[in-house]
Amino acid sequence: MARTLIAEIVTPEKIVYTNEVEMVVAPTIEGEIGILPLHAPLVGALKGGEVRVKDGDLVEWFAVSGGYIQVHEDRVIILADDAEIASQIDVERARQAKALAESRLAELGGEGEEVDALERDLRWAEVRIAVGTAH
């Protein structure tokens, strides 16, 4: 049997995923990183994008909006601001959220906390659309 590691994807609201897997691939701010068993300890910042977990022939995809990744011994913990498994992404709803954020940003047109929040919402909708349509 191949050596495995425990992968967890966690948001402030819930545990999105936990399982024993062979490999985790995540989008860090410095580029995509692949984690295999016996990986060196690591803490890194995530950018919005696609996380892949591989267990044999099974690959599962997740949209994450950003956060952190921690690798210690044979455990990978992804602490995401938001995360959603690709098979449960409602792409049409994400497109509507994107359109709403774009229209509100066009109305506001400036800077401030509301603009920052809308830009985060827009990026999250774009990530969900990309991951949801690809898988």
Selection from 29, 61, 24, 25 nearest residue 44 by Cα: 29
Contact 130, 48 (CB under 8 A): no
CA distance 100 to 33: 33
Please classify residue 56 by burial: count the beta carbons closer than 10 Å to its beta carbon, then call 0-12 exposed, 13-18 middle and 19+ buried: exposed
| 109 pLDDT higher than 80 | no
Provide Rg for the chain, Cα atoms: 16
Write the CB contacts of 9 (distance below 8 Å, at least 6 apart in sequence): 15, 16, 17, 18, 51, 62, 64, 78, 80, 83
Q: What tens digit of pLDDT does each residue of 1-43 get? A: 578 999 999 999 999 999 999 999 999 999 999 999 999 999 9
- Res 44: pLDDT: 96
- Res 47: pLDDT: 95
CA distance 124 to 65: 6
pTM higher than 0.85, yes or no? yes
- Res 108: pLDDT: 80
Average pLDDT over residues 85-108: 93
Selection from 4, 6, 49 nearest residue 22 by Cα: 4
Average pLDDT over residues 41-52: 96
Q: Which CATH number fits domain 5-86: 2.60.15.10, 1.10.3720.10, 3.30.470.20, 3.40.50.720?
A: 2.60.15.10
Measured CA to CA in angstroms, residue 37 lies from 33, 34, 51 at distances of 13, 10, 17
Q: What tens digit of pLDDT does each residue of 58-95 get? A: 999 999 999 999 999 899 999 999 999 999 999 999 99
CA distance 48 to 46: 7
Tell me the pLDDT band of 107, cut-offs 50, 70 and 90. confident
Domain ranges of the chain: 5-86, 90-134
